[in-house]
Structure 1
Amino acid sequence: MTEFTGGINIPKDDIDFGDYVLIEQKRYGVPNEMFQFKVVGSYQSNAYRDVPMDGVDRDKKWHPHVVDVLNVICCGIDETEVDTVRKADVRLIKSRHEEAEK
């Protein structure tokens, strides 16, 4: 039996299912804050939330070009809401490959 890793032939430095990332959150009156998210999927789309993410405006925005995006859930805050963000706007902090190599 093979272990599910989210995708087929995904390079180790790519972000996909099971990875943890940091995403900047918009704060009003104080500096923005980085929140930890778990990646639950990846694909390409032109509809995603802009970063820094705003807690008031939770809608995806339509952009003119298709890019790599991630479906993410915010760890410890609201793990029922799935947000879509551009892959280029996140910072990888823990890869699923780190656990596999132990």
Structure 2
Amino acid sequence: MKTITTAVAALFALSTAVAADEVCMNASEMQSSLIDWYGERPVEGPSANNTRLWVSDATGSWTLVRTTDEGKACVAAQGRNWNASMDASDVLSEIAENTES
């Protein structure tokens, strides 16, 4: 468990929270971009706040995407420290804990 906690902490430390320069586009375009450009795949279904974690085991990149009611998808956070042994639920919890106001 300590290894996962350490990995999650490192993942969050290397994340880039997107604020003022938030990248948003049509949700289907975002999905295609994450798959085609970054080789990412979704690992968690939408959470209560319509976010989904996308990851690439090959490159270590990850993207947290928030989908709006209007069908737009916006990058909420991103990073480059994902690995296949990480638990997506733990990562989402850690990101939520560290980004709440």
- Shared fold, TM over 0.5: no
Q: From the CA coordinates, give the structure whose radius of gyration is larger.
A: 1
The answer to which structure has the higher helix fraction is 2
TM-score of the two chains, using structure 2 as the length reference? 0.28
